[in-house]
Amino acid sequence: MRSFNLDLMHGLPDQSLEEALDDLRQAIALNPPHLSWYQLTIEPNTLFGSRPPVLPDDDALWDIFEQGISC
């Protein structure tokens, strides 16, 4: 494989801080040329849009973001 990019979401249903950070660390360890790391967005007209799952609260999302940017 010559090159690859990696897109990784956080703020997934039932995802803990440690799980999110572990996912990010594993992605970084792959040393991708480009890594996008973004929060899950619930879109209308999707399964999650019609039946929203329980997501991490705002404080947990902030902790994931704040600690993730220092990985």
pTM of the model: 0.86
Write out the H or E segment, with its range, that includes residue 50: helix 47-50
41, two tokens: 């967005």
Mean pLDDT by 10 residues, the chain (71 residues): 90 96 97 96 94 94 96 90
Cα dihedral sign, 23-28-31-32? positive
User: Are 23 and 53 contacting, i.e. CB atoms less than 8 angstroms apart?
Assistant: no
Euclidean distance between the first and the last CA atom of the chain, given in angstroms as a whole number: 26
User: Are 20 and 37 contacting, i.e. CB atoms less than 8 angstroms apart?
Assistant: no
